[in-house]
A = this chain, B = another copy of it.
Amino acid sequence: MRVNNIHIKNQSHALSYISIYNNHTLVALLEIVKIGIFKCGNIGVSPIFELLLDELAQREDITVRTVTTGSKMGVKDVEEALPKLFEFDPDLIVFISPNPAIPGPATVREILLKKGVPSIVISDGVAKRIKDELEKQGLGYIIIMGDPLIGARREFLDPTEMAIFNSNVIKVLATTGVLRMLHQEIDRLVAILKEDLPLALPRLLVDTDVIRDNSDFQNPYAKAKAMAAYELTKRVAEIDTRACFIEKDREKYIPLVACAHEIAQMAAKLAEEAREIEKYSDTLARKPHSKKGEPLTKTKLMLPPTVDKKIYQRWLKASRA
């Protein structure tokens, strides 16, 4: 599975695609799609990304291998660790990193391009400014505007605070549907790879309007609360950026990081509230994976999920178009 030719479709909204035509024919090899994940530094979705793809640990159609450099993001770290991922011979690579423009992650992108494996960059709001560059490079991307920078000041952040912050961010990303979009994009690519159809890598900037227009909420107030939660994590990003990079005086930045993390906690509460609303009317959407990796869907808690043929057909159709 190698990328031969890249055709960028006309993009008129937040979510569009880079089409990649492949001339690969060994369908048999792709009964199992191999997904390589490279993490370099940490964003909110990093810790649980691979779990999203196989939450029940029962999928038989994918193999996932992850290599990470921990919180280190140096060029040397990258050069040492990334090659390990290619030994796994992945069909698709997901590269998750907080700031894909700095030297280390930039090196990752270069290596990815050289290797020619279809690759997607998943990053936070900081990546917005290299969106055009990513498109030119033929890399897919999912930029999560509401995946905020942490309050990285030594007077404030310790491992406990860090974990709690991540807990809050994960809850917001899960409840608002951002994680749903993430796994569905990968699910879509896996489906296309299995069908040996032309790949269209995602170009997705996840801002509040994307949540508004794509979430699973049935109740409009639940959706409004989820959007509110997402707006809050975006604000966290802005405040922490100021606290970490602009304010120099301890008296000034400590209250700011503390303030940002309080907002993160409130965002998690709002997100939880949104989800509770759907529970109250038993309309909470659930979309597990089948063993074969098919997208399933259900709402009423006591009923079983069924295959979501609509979304599956849409994926393939879009790929064929």
Q: Is the CB of B227 within 8 A of A259?
A: yes
- Tell me the dominant secondary structure on chain A's binding face: helix
* Interface check A287, CB cutoff 8 A: yes
* Interface check A3, CB cutoff 8 A: no
Q: Is the CB of B277 within 8 A of A255?
A: no
Interface locus among A44-52, A196-204, A312-320: A44-52
Q: Is the CB of B179 within 8 A of A171?
A: no
Nearest-neighbor residue (CB-CB) of A268 within chain B: B167
* Interface check A157, CB cutoff 8 A: yes
What are 19 A-B pairs at a CB distance below 8 A?
Answer: A41-B57, A47-B51, A51-B163, A52-B163, A56-B154, A57-B72, A65-B70, A155-B301, A158-B286, A159-B174, A160-B175, A160-B177, A160-B180, A160-B286, A167-B168, A221-B282, A221-B284, A228-B260, A232-B263
Which of the residues B51, B81, B220 comes within 8 Å of A71, measured between beta carbons?
B51
Q: Is the CB of B70 within 8 A of A155?
A: no
Cβ of A168: which chain B residues have Cβ within 8 Å of it?
Answer: 167, 171
Nearest-neighbor residue (CB-CB) of A227 within chain B: B259
Q: Is the CB of B154 within 8 A of A305?
A: yes
Interface locus among A14-22, A122-130, A140-148, A246-254: A246-254
In the bound complex, CA of A106 to CA of B221 (Å): 39
Copies per complex of this chain: 6
Which of the residues B57, B71, B220, B279 comes within 8 Å of A54, measured between beta carbons?
B71
Q: Is the CB of B73 within 8 A of A69?
A: no
Q: Is the CB of B158 within 8 A of A288?
A: yes
Closest-CB distance, A223 to chain B (whole angstroms): 6
Which of the residues B52, B209, B266 comes within 8 Å of A252, measured between beta carbons?
B209
In the bound complex, CA of A282 to CA of B84 (Å): 46
Closest-CB distance, A43 to chain B (whole angstroms): 11
Q: Is the CB of A56 within 8 A of B157?
A: yes
In chain A, residues 165-224, which have Cβ atoms closer than 8 Å to a Cβ of chain B?
A: 166-168, 170-171, 173-175, 177, 179-180, 183, 208-209, 212, 219-221, 223-224
Q: A225-250, CB under 8 A of B: which get 1 and which 0?
A: 10110011001000100000000001
Cβ of A42: which chain B residues have Cβ within 8 Å of it?
Answer: 51, 57
A65-B80, A232-B266, A250-B302 known; 12 new pairs, CB 8 Å cut-off, are A52-B163, A54-B70, A55-B161, A65-B70, A67-B84, A155-B298, A159-B174, A163-B170, A167-B171, A224-B262, A224-B301, A258-B301
